[in-house]
Amino acid sequence: MAKKWGRLLRSWMTQKMELPQDVMMDLPRITMIGQIHIYIENHRGLLTFTDQEVRLLLKQGQLLIKGSSFVIRTILPEEILLEGKIDAVMYLNE
């Protein structure tokens, strides 16, 4: 019950204070440039990295990125810049 009220309060504050939802609701911010770059902010860590798949931990679930020739250009505690050919970006509720 407390989680539900917390979510409702954050949603209300986001609307009333005109704050970005990714900041108030702890959501990832994903910026893609075509199929060659993807920049993800506000993730919880890198779970898997291969040249064809990247899996990131989110506050709720995971983010799966599939493609080919992946290279990590920048990695910080809550940010990652990935380069390669991006075929799919999927949210997983695991």
Q: Per-residue confidence of the chain (94 residues) as pLDDT tens digits?
A: 666 776 676 666 666 666 555 555 678 999 999 999 999 999 999 999 999 999 999 988 999 999 999 999 999 999 999 999 999 999 999 6
Give the whole-angstrom CA distance, residue 88 versus residue 85.
9
* Domain 25-92 grouped into CATH 2.60.40.2000: yes
Domain boundaries, the chain: 25-92
Give the whole-angstrom CA distance, residue 89 versus residue 61.
13
